[in-house]
Amino acid sequence: MRVLVGPESTDLAELYAVPRTPWLRVNMVSTVDGAATGETGTSGSINNAADKQVFDQLRAMADVIVVGAGTVRAERYGPAGKPLVVVSRRGQVPDSLRDAPRGSVLLATCGTAEGLGAARDLLGAEQVLVLGSHRVDLPLLKQVLADRGWGHVLSEGGPHLLRDLLASGAADELCTTVVPRLVAGEHPRITQGPPVDVPLRLHLLLESEGTLLGRWLTDSPTGQ
Ligand SMILES: NC(=O)c1ccc[n+]([C@@H]2O[C@H](COP(=O)([O-])OP(=O)(O)OC[C@H]3O[C@@H](n4cnc5c(N)ncnc54)[C@H](OP(=O)(O)O)[C@@H]3O)[C@@H](O)[C@H]2O)c1
């Protein structure tokens, strides 16, 4: 991997170090024509070795993983080896995580969620974070995780959650992998939902056999 923009280093831990906590970054992959999924309908059909290397590095560095329930359902997420927070408005724990070891999975949801009682029974009340009445307050989620000692937050998407993290100002950073492929067809982009307009500042750009891996900063208002 070579650095196109950023400090001269080959050490991914150094290149991806976060400047402070709390810090929330989102990591996503897309094709050159903007598809966030490939033929199987998941990101697993477009990612590659360079993306996997950075994906693994970011997971290893984070205190906690935050992911939207739609991504967990589509990609059949299992436990992540560190605390995994599923964001769900409906408050339903996806099937693939129902047998996860107690304490390894948390749910971030809202007070009116239909699945609230069942989620508390399944995960334990401590693991169910009610953050708002009708919607999940994402900046508050970031703060609540920091209060638990998890100041370095990695979100692995998906597109609706990324859009909401950007709109709410909770995201400090977006890491994107652009793989050198075109797929056409009908696929989501890495952001889905109502329009946002979030300027980004390029912090790092790596290249590996045509794959471009960037760190983009949002200068988020919730950053402190
Ligand atoms: N290219 C990539 O890097 C990448 C990364 C991740 C996922 N993906 C792909 O994206 C697709 C899934 O897309 P998606 O947009 O459905 O993913 P998503 O954002 O993970 O899931 C949407 C669901 O997550 C919950 N959610 C998201 N934002 C929320 C918020 N602000 N508050 C409360 N709940 C929230 C809701 O769950 P409830 O319905 O339970 O209320 C919502 O229906 C899959 O094909 C997956 O493979 C691609």
| Structural domains of the chain ordered from first start | 20-63+151-224 (3.40.430.10), 67-149 (no CATH)
Find the residues whose C-beta lies inside 6 A of ligand 1: 28-30, 36-37, 41-43, 68-71, 74-75, 87-90, 92, 135-136, 138, 156-161, 164, 188, 190, 192
- What is the position in ligand 1's atom list of the atom closest to the CA of 67? 20
Q: What pLDDT, in 10s, does the model give residues 90-134?
A: 999 999 999 999 999 999 999 999 999 999 999 999 999 999 999
- DSSP class of residue 40 equals T
Number of Cβ within a 10 Å radius of residue 68: 24
pLDDT of 188-224, one tens digit each? Answer: 999 999 999 999 999 999 999 999 999 999 987 664 3
